[in-house]
A and B are shown apart, each in its own frame.
Chain A
Amino acid sequence: MNPFSYLRPTTEKEAFAALSQPDTMALAGGTTLVDLMRLEIMRPLHVVDITGLPLGKIETGVSSITIGALATNSDVAYHPDVVAKLPALADAIRAGASGQIRNMATTSGNLLQRTRCPYFRDASSPCNKRSPGSGCAALEGFTRMNAIVGTSKDCIAAHPSDMSVALVALDASVHLRSTSGERSVKVGDFYTLPANHPNVESVIQPGELVVSVEVPITPLAATSRYVKVRDRWSYAFALAAAAVALDVQGGTIKAASVVLGGVGTKPWREPAVEQALIGKPATQEVFVSAANLALATPDVRPDNAFKVGLAKRVVARALGLVAGGSK
């Protein structure tokens, strides 16, 4: 690990001052940053420990639940209001990582975690995300865990977060703060596609901090589920996952939200599937035919072509579980 200076501010003013220096990283739970610093994939000169800031609360309002940036994944996944009102979010977080890591990892850290593409994590491989312009070893490499949508000729790294997939499905917003003010971005618009700049992964700007994530409380959200398929039963990243939500009234689907994980360079919403569901009866036949519209133009490689069929079946299964549970 390269040496760095360490500061633990207790006010936002101090924190923003410290974060304005070049080559500075904010440290929260450490499960991504400490790991990548040890691998010397990330080499900040200054580390600002933001865990002294009062950003850990989870507050239930009338129309939304606001989750502080420093609320841990365990805090969120087992919060009674999250479990009752945002089940896909609780499911998704519990489907990720391990008990220990969920106790450490924070909401903002989960949002901003880096890809698990093995070539990003191997300093000896070319990687445009790590070293812009160096090339992409994954294109000709082992791609079982890589993305098949949202890819570019420069990067096919999959987005690793389960939580973010659920947040997109639940139409959540990220609240960002800097010295020049505050702004909100839908989680669906927070992440950027790799295109020819895979080193840029989201719209967050230098000097900005995630302060909270706000998730609307809706009938749709109350009947949401997250289904994840992985290479082992627990503690593995997704091969394919789906966060789905259905608002079914009188047997007819009034609203639908379908977002895929494990297949995209960012959480991947499927509007075609959603449109095919709305107005139809909530039957398994409808779910299967709608799910088959997902991933219409995938960018597959021999190692990951299986993800197309797998993801469609995951969507159909998740829809079936939601419909079954909402009765």
Chain B
Amino acid sequence: MPSAGCRVLAFARDWSPHSASHVEQRALRSHLRGLGADLIIVSAHQAWRIRPDDEIATLGELAARELARAHAIKREDAVIVLDYDHASIFEHRGPVVDHSQLLASLTAATEAMLMPAPTTFTRRGWMSTCLVSGFATVVLASCKQHEHRDPVPEPAVVPPPAVAHEIDIELDVNGTTHKLRIEPRVSLLDALRERLQLVGTKKGCDAGQCGACTIHINGKRVLSCLTLAATAQGKPITTIEGLAEGLGGGALHPLQTAFIAHDGMQCGFCTPGQIMSAAALIKENRAKTDDEVREQMSGNICRCGAYPNILAAIQSVRGGNAG
């Protein structure tokens, strides 16, 4: 079972996929999608794995018992967050008496994590922990609600028809072939970030409007959020991680150097997409003047407004400033 970064284990005695409404399940998936985490819910007799774009996988009674034993859970509810190395980075055991209590303990846990080992601190690690922990409270809260619900059946929710099945694909990313088993609805962006841990490609809008997820397929710039991973088979894919490949160990691509030299970023979130888009723009050779470069870069939004510096960086590499 490949691990997708952090993992949340929720021990909820009375949970089952049938007790969670379609809307709640969708909320769970939507939370998970952005986190780089998968969720395992363990009930008294069963365990399930939930990923944002996959069918809920039943792990079996044995797995449920093993997980409970491994984490010393008897009958109580608990939420445990495991990091990349499966070390526990957050634990809450027992019922949620008061939501604010849990939030306070979360804050303490986050602070505790940050204090002793600043050298191992990474922004992604920190964000994942905060998000996952916060999410965990939501999971547990929703699990708890079901305990107190009257056993009145919800209005029938038509389950998605059982046409979805995982397919085996191969992706050629930055010169390396990766074998993946995915559902057809998984975007290339999610496959890169959540399965291959190539997190340089960013998820901004996930709707084809911001350009943060720009990558190259067959040498052309495209949006990985609007590309299904399954459709990218057999085509060379380049992400920001592979842009400088072939330039020698540790060397940056000229555009990366130029973005640093011209300060072409503020928060940096859009930068990988900007650079991938700009690298393709230079190769396309359709934009020369400043106005033409602006037009050709209009699919990459920078909410910090670093546009003048981004333009300067691109023009410095393009080799002209004919504005």
The B-contacting residues of A in range 1-58, CB under 8 angstroms, are 1-6, 8, 27, 30-31, 34-35, 37-39, 45-47, 49, 51
Task: Check B163 against A3 for contact (C-beta < 8 Å).
Answer: yes
> Once bound together, how far apart are the Cα atoms of A98 and B55, in whole Å?
34
Task: Check B299 against A27 for contact (C-beta < 8 Å).
Answer: no
Q: Mark A96-107, 1 if CB is under 8 A from B, else 0.
A: 011111011000
A326 located at the interface, meaning its Cβ lies under 8 Å from any Cβ of chain B in the complex: no
> Once bound together, how far apart are the Cα atoms of A2 and B161, in whole Å?
9
Task: Check B296 against A6 for contact (C-beta < 8 Å).
Answer: no
CB contacts (< 8 Å) of B206 on chain A: these are 38
Task: Check A99 against B221 for contact (C-beta < 8 Å).
Answer: yes
CB contacts (< 8 Å) of A3 on chain B: these are 55, 160-161, 163-164, 183-185
Interface residues on A, range: 20 to 34
The A-contacting residues of B in range 169-214, CB under 8 angstroms, are 183-185, 187, 206-208, 211, 214
Task: Check A35 against B207 for contact (C-beta < 8 Å).
Answer: yes
B227 located at the interface, meaning its Cβ lies under 8 Å from any Cβ of chain A in the complex: yes
CB contacts (< 8 Å) of B284 on chain A: these are 99
B3 located at the interface, meaning its Cβ lies under 8 Å from any Cβ of chain A in the complex: no
The B-contacting residues of A in range 118-169, CB under 8 angstroms, are none
The A-contacting residues of B in range 49-71, CB under 8 angstroms, are 53, 55
Which of the residues A38, A46, A234 comes within 8 Å of B295, measured between beta carbons? Answer: A234
CB contacts (< 8 Å) of B96 on chain A: these are none
Q: Who on chain B is nearest to A2 by CB?
A: B160
Interface residues on B, range: 35 or more
> Once bound together, how far apart are the Cα atoms of A3 and B163, in whole Å?
7
B262 located at the interface, meaning its Cβ lies under 8 Å from any Cβ of chain A in the complex: no
B228 located at the interface, meaning its Cβ lies under 8 Å from any Cβ of chain A in the complex: yes
Q: A100-B211, A100-B277 are in contact. Are A27 and B228 (CB under 8 A)?
A: yes
B223 located at the interface, meaning its Cβ lies under 8 Å from any Cβ of chain A in the complex: yes
CB contacts (< 8 Å) of B165 on chain A: these are 5
Q: Who on chain A is nearest to B218 by CB?
A: A103
CB contacts (< 8 Å) of B230 on chain A: these are 6, 8, 49
CB contacts (< 8 Å) of B184 on chain A: these are 3-6, 47
CB contacts (< 8 Å) of B220 on chain A: these are 74, 103
The A-contacting residues of B in range 267-299, CB under 8 angstroms, are 277, 280-281, 284, 286, 294-299
B140 located at the interface, meaning its Cβ lies under 8 Å from any Cβ of chain A in the complex: no
Task: Check B280 against A99 for contact (C-beta < 8 Å).
Answer: yes
Q: Who on chain B is nearest to A51 by CB?
A: B231
| Least Cβ–Cβ distance between A322 and chain B, in angstroms | 22
B139 located at the interface, meaning its Cβ lies under 8 Å from any Cβ of chain A in the complex: no
Task: Check A35 against B226 for contact (C-beta < 8 Å).
Answer: yes
Q: A3-B55, A5-B165 are in contact. Are A235 and B228 (CB under 8 A)?
A: no
B97 located at the interface, meaning its Cβ lies under 8 Å from any Cβ of chain A in the complex: no
Q: Which 6 A-B pairs have the closest CB atoms?
A: A98-B299, A3-B164, A6-B184, A234-B298, A235-B298, A1-B185
Interface residues of A (CB under 8 A from B): 1-6, 8, 27, 30-31, 34-35, 37-39, 45-47, 49, 51, 74, 78, 97-101, 103-104, 233-235
Having A34-B208, A99-B277, one finds 11 other A-B pairs with CB under 8 Å, namely: A3-B161, A3-B184, A5-B184, A6-B228, A34-B226, A35-B226, A37-B185, A45-B161, A99-B280, A100-B299, A103-B222
Complex A-B: 13 CB contacts under 8 Å: A1-B53, A2-B160, A3-B161, A3-B185, A4-B163, A5-B164, A34-B226, A98-B300, A99-B221, A100-B214, A104-B227, A234-B294, A234-B298
